[in-house]
Copies of this chain bind each other. A is one copy, B any other.
């Protein structure tokens, strides 16, 4: 049986004094005679007493807790965001309550409600669609300190975000300078991610700007289970494309795998560019060309912004748009090589040596 944890009252009793004295001594606030102090201290130790954050929070109306909502931890980008956010919060004595929206707006709203009910002091979150998120609306209405991550600012909330359109333009520029004309944009859960759509729109606009063909939008709804097969089918249907920009690195890597299964050489038969800059992209051969972002800085920055508001500190500077990403070239991005792709011949080519 779990015996009720000792309370301040138990300590007071054991020490033979009032609860106020215990509070004062243990918190180092107010004064006490050396004798009382000793008695309180030893009583507390004997009982294994620790303050309950509950009573304290109720009293102070501050839980020292931040809510954190991300779509999923399966994407390493969000795992890193959360990890960094947790660390930064911890440094300031705050805990993190984690919720995953699973790319679902209903869950997202529900999570926001729950966290608000738990009286979190602030929130850090990536929403599915910042422009019309009920969760954000709720938070804004409650006037709760909050910062977005990887979403562009919305509802007047601060945001640590990547400039998706500018980044996508760099990708288009890179494809163009390598001589690509027919490209595709590969997206997973397109309608459930404003990031993905911004990347597509920026890419399409830039392709036009550089005189390339409009990129083909290749949407995928399913999850990992059959992902490789779906990609295989998709790639087989669009042999004319010489380059594909994927909405994130994981998808790009999967596409690379699927393309290889089709006998395609990367980048000769098909160039691939991802988005995010996850470390795995550097472990494959050739490495994945991508838009590198910095999830750690984002997560940390977002917490910092929230805490600044909470603790009345100067608001931290948001990074300039240009500083939110950097393009990683080479590897899976090269000039298109004319001629029919063939698995056997491809196999005799030298692997890139980067």
Q: Per-residue 0/1 for A54-74: is the Cβ within 8 Å of any B Cβ (1 yes, 0 no)?
A: 110110010101001000111
Which of A10-18, A172-180, A312-320, A344-352 binds B?
A344-352
- Contact present for A97 and B100 (CB under 8 Å): no
Minimal Cβ-Cβ distance residue in B for A83: B73
Which of A33-41, A276-284, A300-308 binds B?
A276-284
- Contact present for A257 and B285 (CB under 8 Å): yes
**How many copies of the polypeptide does the oligomer hold?**
2
A118 at the interface (CB under 8 A from B): yes
How far does the Cβ of A77 sit from chain B's closest Cβ, in whole Å? 11
A80-126, CB < 8 A from B: 80, 82-83, 86-87, 90, 95-100, 102, 113-119
Which of A21-29, A141-149, A152-160, A191-199 binds B?
A141-149
Partner of A63, one of B54, B72, B90, B285: B54
- Contact present for B95 and A97 (CB under 8 Å): yes
- Contact present for A116 and B50 (CB under 8 Å): yes
Interface centre among A54, A63, A116, A224 (most CB of B within 10 A): A54
Contacting residues, chain B, for A87 (C-beta < 8 A): 100, 102
Contacting residues, chain B, for A115 (C-beta < 8 A): 95
**Number of A interface residues, CB 8 Å?**
63
Contacting residues, chain B, for A102 (C-beta < 8 A): 87
- Contact present for A142 and B5 (CB under 8 Å): yes
Partner of A98, one of B96, B284, B350: B96
- Contact present for A55 and B58 (CB under 8 Å): yes
- Contact present for A3 and B143 (CB under 8 Å): yes
A340 at the interface (CB under 8 A from B): no
Contacting residues, chain B, for A1 (C-beta < 8 A): 143
A79 at the interface (CB under 8 A from B): yes
How far does the Cβ of A295 sit from chain B's closest Cβ, in whole Å? 11
A189 at the interface (CB under 8 A from B): no
Contacting residues, chain B, for A3 (C-beta < 8 A): 143
- Contact present for B82 and A73 (CB under 8 Å): yes
> A residues near B, CB below 8 A?
1-5, 48, 50-55, 57-58, 61, 63, 65, 68, 72-74, 76, 79-80, 82-83, 86-87, 90, 95-100, 102, 113-119, 141-144, 224, 253-254, 256-257, 260, 279-280, 282-285, 347-348, 350-351
Across the A-B interface, give the 3 residue pairs with the lowest CB-CB distance, nearest first: A73-B83, A79-B79, A2-B143
26 interchain pairs, CB-CB under 8 A? A1-B143, A2-B142, A2-B144, A5-B142, A52-B117, A52-B119, A53-B118, A55-B58, A65-B97, A65-B118, A68-B98, A73-B86, A74-B83, A82-B98, A86-B98, A86-B100, A87-B100, A87-B102, A95-B118, A96-B99, A97-B98, A224-B279, A253-B283, A256-B283, A280-B283, A348-B350
- Knowing that A73-B73, A280-B283 are A-B contacts, what are 18 other residue pairs whose CB atoms are under 8 Å apart, sorted by A's residue number? A1-B143, A2-B142, A5-B142, A50-B117, A53-B117, A53-B118, A54-B54, A54-B119, A73-B86, A74-B79, A95-B97, A96-B97, A96-B98, A97-B97, A98-B98, A253-B280, A280-B280, A283-B284
